[in-house]
Structure 1
Amino acid sequence: MALTLSHPAQHELVIKKSRFIACVQPVADRPAAQVIVAGLRAQHPGAAHVCWALLAGGQSAAVDDGEPSGTAGRPMLDVLRHQDLEGVLATVVRYFGGVKLGAGGLVRAYTDAVAQALLGATKLPLQRLCALACSVPYALEGMVRRELDAAGASLLDVHHDSVVTLRFCLPDTQAQALAARLNEAGQGRLAWLRGDEGG
């Protein structure tokens, strides 16, 4: 049975003065993963590489981000596959320490960084996630956020324009009940969007 993670877990390795900051975390899909990776690039402007691997919703990715081809993203992806994970993003931010590690050294470093992060992660049986998006007047944003929080939904994106657009995901089994509660509380002022609308 496929497993996912309950929350992000991190681990840091230092090998020949290079710092490898690994994080494994649950994600719904590739767009959500790309938002996280972009955030890491902004957080670590001095990093030499932000490599990542993804297994989510039938999509996979293995990104070397400037490391020699096949030395970062692919080994990280192999760790996720080996542990039968789904809906998981692995990222490693590398600060170069001035000493080249060689292809074999890089493969070991990225593999170990992700494997160590996973040792600190809590794994759960995978529940199918449902991604939803709605728009509401500003006055209802707080209510929607409270309902999402109460339902254990993950807020993916919030966009403020003439209305507030919120994108979120939660287990399939809870989506219908949450939608009904939001419709009732919104009293007709909440609009549901298809995945390609808004934002």
Structure 2
Amino acid sequence: MHLFLRVVVVPLFAVFLMGCASSARRLEVAAVSKIKVGVSTTAQVEEIFGRPSHTVIGPNEKSVARYYFRQYRVVNDVRALERQEHPGDILFRTLSVRYGPSRVIEQKLHDESVTPVRSYNDTFIAGPTLMPENINFIKENMTTKAELIDHLGEPTSQTFDFDGVPTLIWVSAKSRRLIDAEARQLVVLLNERQVVKGYAIILHDIPGVNGNWR
């Protein structure tokens, strides 16, 4: 599990906080619908989307390729005071593709989320609070996916591993002007009953990202 977290979480967080991806790789529905489970090959997928953000290699020649797209959207259709408190939203899309030994798609998942960015006293905050007291309700083999969403809202990203195990990721970030960003990620693995199989909190200190909130 620790290896899986290392290869999944770091690329996801980097895309979430860094600059916008190329407009050619927005992971829109029209493009994603062109690739078919049981039909499309690795070469055909990469012809449309390019090389993945990263790839996880599993046993028996299985692999999972993940593509990410992030875009900051400024809120314009509200009053000035509301815009000061809620300056924008972060659109995040994930495309996960699992290949078998023949390099043909065995599973795919296209996910999209919108995370509001809030401003409080020159501090910009995105995502749910992921402090220990806010996630102590999570119990392995007990807490369900529905309960996670009820407490934390919709996840920032949904994906799976090379065995098809569902994985939910919540990102929480805070940035003050002229001060480095603080961020946490909650990564949750689910079993076939949509119950928590395992989870971990990943902590980050990322310098120089506060300008991206604007």
Structure number with higher relative contact order (C-alpha < 8 Å, ≥ 6 residues apart): 1
Larger Rg computed on CA atoms? 1
Which TM-score applies when normalising by structure 1?
Answer: 0.28
Which TM-score applies when normalising by structure 2?
Answer: 0.27
Q: Which has the higher helix share?
A: 1
Q: Which has the higher strand share?
A: 2
